[in-house]
Amino acid sequence: MAWAVLQFPGSNCDADALKAVRATTSVTCDFHWHAEPILLGQYQVIILPGGFSFGDYLRTGAIAKLSPAVKSLPAAIEAGAHVLGICNGFQILLEARLLPGVLKVNHHLRFVSKNAECVIEDEAFPWFRLADKGNILKMPIAHGYGNFQAPKMDLKESSAVLKYRDNPNGSVDSIAGIYRRMGAGSVMGLMPHPERASFQDLQLNDGACFWQNAESNLR
């Protein structure tokens, strides 16, 4: 069971994600540099971490989507990989059109950094089980462009699996995370940071369910 955390120039949550996975599971997880394509069957789980890929100089995620690792994601997902994009990772998945919609500037035009409560709306293999539906997860958010917008027609093949209890950024229907099945694999993107909520020492470990559920469900 091999997992990977993609690294881009400007990633700043990559080490957090790697540490969270290693601390809460027994899987093998390592960094994967963005310039190296991902081979079919190389990883079961691929995490795109938060940060400011390539400095976000053009547009959040617009340069990262051209990286060989991201270009190889569709084939890897179709073959069975499960991808999780967190914050900037979510933005990259949207730019790569692996998920529908866009992330705009927060409706109040301010950067928001706080803990947010999110409700699990549906199962999303391997991250959420049906039994998790209705559970509330408390996780940090930290973003200026987290206002998710998508026309309903774009969500036909995807589902809103995570919603804010108190919408912090103006996202349509209070959506905090969306999920899509692709072939034998899947793609999920979310703005909250589960890797920053995976340690009991921080008195904030609701995010550990992501890694533990995935490990259990993919055995």
Per the structure block, which two tokens stand in for 213? 């559920």
Note whether 25 and 212 are within 8 A (CB). Answer: yes
Residue 1: is its pLDDT beyond 90?
no
Q: To which H or E segment does residue 45 belong?
A: strand 45-48
Per-residue model confidence as pLDDT tens digits over 19-67: 999 999 999 999 999 999 999 999 999 999 999 999 999 999 999 999 9
Contact 193, 90 (CB under 8 A): no
pLDDT in tens, 163-204: 999 999 999 999 999 999 999 999 999 999 999 999 999 899
pLDDT of 139 > 90? The answer is: yes
pLDDT at 154: 80
* pLDDT value, residue 109: 97
Between 50 and 154, whose confidence is greater? 50
Q: Residue 48 sits in a domain of what CATH number?
A: 3.40.50.880
DSSP 13: S
C-alpha span between 138 and 219 (Å, rounded): 27
Give the domain extent around 209: 2-217
pLDDT at 79 > cutoff 80? yes
Q: Which residue has the tokens 């394509």?
A: 37
Q: What is the mean pLDDT of residues 87-103?
A: 97
DSSP 72-133: THHHHHHTT-EEEEETHHHHHHHHTTSS-SEEEPPTTSS-EEEEEEEEE-S-BTTTB-GGGT
Per-residue pLDDT for 3 more than 80? Answer: yes
| Residue 152 binned pLDDT confidence (cut-offs 50, 70, 90) | confident
Higher pLDDT, 40 or 156: 40
**Residues forming the active site:** 87, 193, 195
CB 100 within 8 A of CB 150: yes
Strands 175-182 and 185-190: antiparallel
Q: How many structural domains does the chain have?
A: 1
pTM: 0.97
